[in-house]
Structure 1
Amino acid sequence: MDHSLGPTGPGWLVALETSGLGDMLRQSLWLYPLVEVLHILGLALLVGSIAAFDLRLMGLHTRLPAEALSRLLLPVAVVGFVMVVPTGILLFISEATALARNPAFLVKMGLMVLALGNIALFHRGTGRRIFDWGGGGRPPPAARVAGAVSLLLWVGVLASGRLIAYL
C-alpha cells in the first residue's frame, strides 16, 4: 500500500497503521513475510484439526472414537488459534485502514465469529455428551449438523482470507 499521502480512515485505525509497529512491519524485508508464514501455519493447524474432527462428526471414519479424536485434535487447534490471533493482529496493524474497508476481510471476520460461536454451541450442547456416543458409529444429528456447519464456515474463513489480496 502506498502511504506517500498517508493512510485515511478512523483515527484509531490510522494510529495503529502509522505506529512504530505498523511501520516496522511494512518496512522490514523479513518481518511481514515471517508473520504471514506463521499466520498460515497457525491456520493450517487450526483449520486442519477442526476439519478432521468435523469430518468425524459428519459420520466419516466411524471406527475412530470421536472422544479420543477430540482429545488428540483439540490441543492442535488451540496451538493454531494461539498462533493465528497475534499474527492476525500484526497483519491487521500493518494495513489497518485498507483492511477495515476490504469486503473480503469483513466477511472473514464475520465467518470467524460464526465459526467460533458454532464451536461454543457444540461444546455446550451435544459435544458435552461425546462419551455417550460410544467408541464408534454415527454421532447424533445435532453433532453432524454442527460438523457440517463448522466445515463450511472454516472453508469460508480460508477462502475469504485468501481473497483479501484481490479486493
Structure 2
Amino acid sequence: MDHGQGPAGPGWLVALETSGLGEALRQSVWVYPLVEVLHILGLALLVGAVAAFDLRLLGVGCRLPASPLSRLLLPVAATGLALTVPTGTLLFISEATALAANPAFLAKMALLVLALANIALFHHGAGRTIAAWDGRPPPMARVAGAVSLALWVGVLALGRLIAYL
C-alpha cells in the first residue's frame, strides 16, 4: 500500500482499511502495539498447547497419558484461539488492502484453515478413542500430530514473513 496515495484494492477492503476502526488502529500510539502483543500471546498459547500435544502424539512422553494431557491443553489452545482471531481481524483491518495482496499472508491463511481442519479431523477421528490409548497413539493420531506440527510451524513462519513480502 502506498500511504501517500491511500489504499488501492477491492472496495470492501478499502472500506475496512479506511473505516474509523482502521484509522484508529493505524494512528494510535498504543492500540496497534497492544493488539499485536495480544495476537502474539494468543499464538503462543494456541501453538504452544497444540505443539505440546502434537509432540505427545509423535511419541514424546509416552508415559504421560494422552487423555489428561488433552484435557489440560485444550482449554489453553482455545484461549489462544479466542485471543488470536479477534486480534488478527483487527490487524487485518488496519492494512486490509496490502495484506490481501501479500503472498505470505494468503499462504498463512491457507495453512491456518488446513491446521484447523486437521484439528477437527483428529477430534472426530483418532482423538475419539484417546482414553483407550495405552502409551503409543494409533498411526492416524501420529499422522495428525506430524501434519499439525508442520502446519502450525508454517503458520508462524509465514506470519513472520508477512513483513518482508
TM norm structure 1: 0.97
Q: Distance in 2 between matches of 1:71 and 1:22?
A: 38
Partner SS state of residue 101, structure 2? coil
- Matched residue type, 1:58: L
Runs of 4+ in 1 over 2 A off after TM superposition: 1-4
Q: Deviations over 1:94-116 (max 9, x none)?
A: 00000000000000000000000
Q: Distance in 1 between matches of 2:2 and 2:87?
A: 22
- Report whether the alignment pairs 1:34 with 2:34: yes
- Matched residue type, 1:10: P
Match of 1:15 in 2: 15
Match of 2:163 in 1: 165
Match of 1:146 in 2: 144
Q: Deviations over 1:22-57 (max 9, x none)?
A: 000000011101000000000000000000000000
Q: Any stretches of 5+ residues in structure 2 without a counterpart?
A: none
Number of matched pairs: 165
Q: Distance in 1 between matches of 2:137 and 2:6?
A: 54
Cα 1:159–1:50 change in 2 (3 A) is same
Partner SS state of residue 53, structure 1? helix
- Matched residue type, 1:143: A
Q: Distance in 2 between matches of 1:35 and 1:131?
A: 38
- Report whether the alignment pairs 1:77 with 2:77: yes
Partner SS state of residue 136, structure 2? coil
Q: Distance in 2 between matches of 1:81 and 1:72?
A: 15
Shift of 1:2: 4.4
Q: Distance in 2 between matches of 1:64 and 1:79?
A: 23
- Matched residue type, 1:75: P
Q: Distance in 2 between matches of 1:97 and 1:54?
A: 35
- Sequence identity (%): 78
Q: Any stretches of 5+ residues in structure 1 without a counterpart?
A: none
Match of 1:105 in 2: 105
- Matched residue type, 2:62: T
Q: Distance in 2 between matches of 1:129 and 1:6?
A: 54
TM norm structure 2: 0.98
- Report whether the alignment pairs 1:128 with 2:114: no
Shift of 1:132: 1.0
- Matched residue type, 2:153: V
Q: Distance in 2 between matches of 1:23 and 1:35?
A: 14
